């Protein structure tokens, strides 16, 4: 019998679950212990493989951690990408609220990795940049959407779209990352908090001062 051909991953078949297990383990250990504490020995043990097997897939710990963080970014972007902001704005409050709720959920999922990485920020610039991949993508999307809102005359034009995006996303980012360790500072449930942040910013953007 001829050897069975390997099926490409895009057909929905997990071609190599060992690599996936190693990446999942690396992300989990990194999230708990940071880059310094995430030794290849610990990652291999968490993945249920030995270090020799780990290095068959990744030539160095840096390469492994970078791949794990980038994979988390791809998963997060698939999650938040389910309902992107429309190119042509309509119901600003409804559209932004739906998007911000998904964004908050994405930030919440990565809260441990972000907090751990902040303690080591600057030691691994390439990993730092990969960690911020989802945040950068969200800022770009919200800035473009708010610029389209300005172009359509829906919001005031004296506030730069990037600043309005920061006002929205910085609060949601802080909520998603800090809520698990400072619950008393977030008395409202996530959904209500997100709506409150949105209302505060939109009340300013929809108010006077348009030119």
Between the CA atoms of 10, 71, 182 and 192, what dihedral angle is there, to the nearest 10 degrees?
-30
- Band the pLDDT of 207: cuts 50, 70, 90: low
Residues 6+ apart with CB under 8 A from 101: 190, 191, 194
Percent of the residues in the chain that have a pLDDT greater than 70, as a whole number? 90
Number of neighbours of residue 112 by Cβ within 10 angstroms? 17
Res 46: pLDDT:
96
Percent of the residues in the chain that have a pLDDT greater than 90, as a whole number? 62
Is the pLDDT higher at 117 or at 38? 38
- Band the pLDDT of 1: cuts 50, 70, 90: very low
- Taking each helix axis from N to C terminus, what angle separates 92-109 and 161-178, rounded to the nearest 10 degrees? 40
Res 155: pLDDT:
94
- Band the pLDDT of 31: cuts 50, 70, 90: confident
- Radius of gyration, alpha carbons of the chain: 21
Nearest Cα to Cα of residue 172 among 148, 149, 147, 191: 191
- What separation in angstroms does the CA of 14 have from each of 39, 57, 114, 143, 209? 26, 16, 28, 36, 55
Q: What is the CATH number of domain 81-205?
A: 1.10.357.10
pLDDT tens for 128-172 read: 898 888 889 989 999 999 999 999 999 999 999 999 999 999 999
Q: Is the pLDDT confidence value at 57 over 50?
A: yes
Q: What is the CATH number of domain 14-65?
A: 1.10.10.60
Q: Is the pLDDT confidence value at 210 over 80?
A: no
Is the pLDDT higher at 46 or at 5? 46
- What separation in angstroms does the CA of 122 have from each of 32, 128, 160? 18, 7, 29
- What are the residue ranges spanned by the domains of the chain? 14-65, 81-205
Tokens of 14: 């997990």
């Amino acid at each position: 019998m001829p050897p069975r051909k390997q099926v490409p991953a895009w057909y929905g078949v997990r071609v190599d679950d060992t690599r996936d297990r190693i990446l999942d383990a690396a992300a989990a250990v990194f999230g708990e212990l940071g880059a310094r504490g995430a030794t290849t020995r610990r990652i291999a043990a968490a993945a249920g493989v030995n270090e020799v097997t780990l290095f068959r897939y990744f030539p160095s710990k840096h390469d492994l951690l970078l791949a794990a963080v980038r994979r988390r970014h791809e998963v997060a972007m698939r999650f938040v990408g389910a309902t992107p902001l429309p190119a042509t704005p309509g119901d600003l409050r409804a559209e932004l609220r739906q998007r911000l709720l998904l964004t908050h959920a994405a930030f919440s999922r990565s809260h441990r990795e972000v907090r751990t990485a902040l303690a080591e920020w600057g030691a691994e610039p390439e990993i730092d940049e990969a960690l911020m991949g989802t945040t950068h993508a969200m800022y770009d999307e919200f800035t473009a959407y708010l610029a389209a809102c300005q172009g359509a005359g829906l919001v005031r034009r004296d506030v730069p779209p990037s600043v309005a995006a920061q006002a929205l996303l910085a609060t949601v980012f802080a909520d998603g990352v800090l809520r698990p360790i400072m619950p008393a500072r977030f008395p409202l449930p996530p959904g209500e908090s997100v709506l409150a942040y949105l209302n505060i910013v939109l009340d300013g953007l929809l108010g006077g001062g348009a030119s």
